[in-house]
Amino acid sequence: MTWNVRIGINPISWMNDDLPSLGGETPLETALSEGKEIGYAGFELGNKFPKDGPALKAKLDEYNLACVSGWYSGFLAEVPEGQSEADALAAEIERCKAHMSRLQYNKVKVVVYGECAGTIQGNIDTPLAKRPRFQTDAQWQAYGRRLNAFGAHLQATYGITLAYHHHMGAYVESPADIDHLMQVTDAQSVGLLFDTGHAYYGGATNPEALLRKHLARVVHVHCKDVRPSVIAQARNDGWSFLNGVINGTFTVPGDGVINFDAVLTTLKAAGYEGWLVVEAEQDPAVAPSYQYAKKGFDTLSGIVQRLSRGA
């Protein structure tokens, strides 16, 4: 029986929003045309995409591509001094309007929520060891309340599910962090974006085992592979997240050590029917965009086809 998933890609394979020196000169149209030629069904968003819903749809329609989702930088982990929780939530709800409306217009079902309060993921000089952490259970519980309320608002207002992206350099990075996040949030309000590469880098050297633990919460999947020797050096030498990216911590499925057969088999058995998104930030001068995007697509599509045949 055919497995009802679609394979998409993030434009970070061609151009990096956090590090414009990596592919910053590449036109959006190059990414879209090459991605379509390779076989991808849709793209996640980046900074070069049109900022309003109709213009975004028109641009993607030129290439017969779907809008998969888009990263949203949230700031719910910390309540600014002098603000109440209610005020902080209201500010987030107001701030998200344009982005969520753009996604809603393009019939997007999940939003990639990246927690950016206190994050060091974009600071090239700050070692990952200095990432923010919640110190008490009360802080976790309060964060969960805010996420639940924000997620419920997104569903009620835009019909969009919050897909929480665990991410290196942020409050939720390790398997234990993900466990804690799932404990303090409600399944009906907050979904999990499972990222294979960040899971491995964050400490889950068997990402499939972590995936199995939280399968019921997974609403979106980022498929990236890893180079363990580079990750080991990044840890030993105290690199920042971005220095790791520059030096090749991540790569596309089929070019590293993650067992995507096991990951996708687990997802299919659980009835997952969302997007599988290739997202592997690399330097395109070292890892040519088309070549690596095609390797990622060929790896995933081959597994999906085999699973659809029941092989």
What are 143-197's pLDDT values in tens digits?
999 999 999 999 999 999 999 999 999 999 999 999 999 999 999 999 999 999 9
Residue type, 158: Y
Query: What pLDDT does 281 receive?
Result: 86
pTM for this prediction: 0.96
- Mean pLDDT of the 237-250 span: 95
Quick one: tokens of 196? 């294979």
Summarised one tens digit per residue, pLDDT across range 192-202 is 999 999 999 99
Query: What pLDDT does 2 receive?
Result: 85
Q: Is pLDDT above 90 for 15?
A: no
Q: Is pLDDT above 90 for 284?
A: no
Query: What pLDDT does 23 receive?
Result: 66
Summarised one tens digit per residue, pLDDT across range 51-66 is 999 999 999 999 999 9
Q: Is pLDDT above 90 for 6?
A: yes
Cα separation of 309 and 311, whole Å?
Answer: 5
Q: Is pLDDT above 80 for 311?
A: no
Query: What pLDDT does 283 receive?
Result: 84
Query: What pLDDT does 285 receive?
Result: 85
Mean pLDDT of the chain: 95
Delimit the domains of the chain by residue range. 6-308
Q: Please indicate whether residue 239 or residue 23 has the higher confidence score (pLDDT).
A: 239
Summarised one tens digit per residue, pLDDT across range 70-108 is 999 999 999 999 999 999 999 999 999 999 999 999 999
CATH 3.30.300.90 fits 6-308, yes or no: no
